[in-house]
Amino acid sequence: MTDFVITLLNTLIKVDNINDIINQIKNADKYFEINVNNISAADDIYYLEELSYKGRIFIATNLSTKKAYEILNKYNVDAFITRVISAENVKVFTNNIKFFEHLYKITNVKRGTYFITANEISIEAARLAGFRVIYLDREGKKGNIRSLKEVVEVNSKQYIDGKMGDSALRCS
């Protein structure tokens, strides 16, 4: 079974002022709030359900834990999430390797776990911490994976557990 760590902002939900939020994270000067009424779900957010059949899903976010769950509940995807790991608990943002070291400790995920994000700001810290980064290039400018649907499809092709006999082939 595979574990997945997915960022919330810009990956699963769209926020109008994402550039302001990214700049705040880069400057690490303050936490921010977003109005849940001013967000919308990414078109592929419901592929979380299918991804949850492949492994545990953790959300890494720079929002408060309460706000993250409020958003996940709004779109009825909270049931597919194992746990939310928030920068407010770690006291550093997701662009800091300390965030990922804390994530390892509290989730028990292994090095090499998939880290899925549409935010370039967290990629380097995740790689340095030993994650296998999948960058969702929503605009199609820098990467070849553009959606959560494609992540599910690629992951489905890669995983058949040979130890389970031929039933693994019929059930996958």
Distance CA 85, CA 96 (A): 14
Token pair 């574990």 is found at 3
| CA distance between the termini of the chain | 13
> Does 160 score more than 50 pLDDT?
no
Distance CA 10, CA 138 (A): 9
Domain that holds residue 165: 4-171
Q: From the DSSP assignment, how many helices (H) and strands (E) are in the chain?
A: 8, 7
Distance CA 127, CA 118 (A): 14
pTM of the model: 0.81
Q: Taking a C-beta distance cutoff of 8 angstroms, is the pair 118, 138 a contact? A: yes
For residues 47-58, average pLDDT:
94
Q: What is the pLDDT of residue 168?
A: 43
Reported as a single tens digit per residue, the pLDDT across 85-125 is 999 888 888 889 999 999 999 999 999 999 999 988 899 99
Q: What is the CATH number of the domain that holds 23?
A: 3.40.50.1000
Q: Domain total for the chain?
A: 1
Rounded alpha-carbon distances, angstroms, from residue 111 to 20, 38, 101, 108: 31, 35, 10, 10
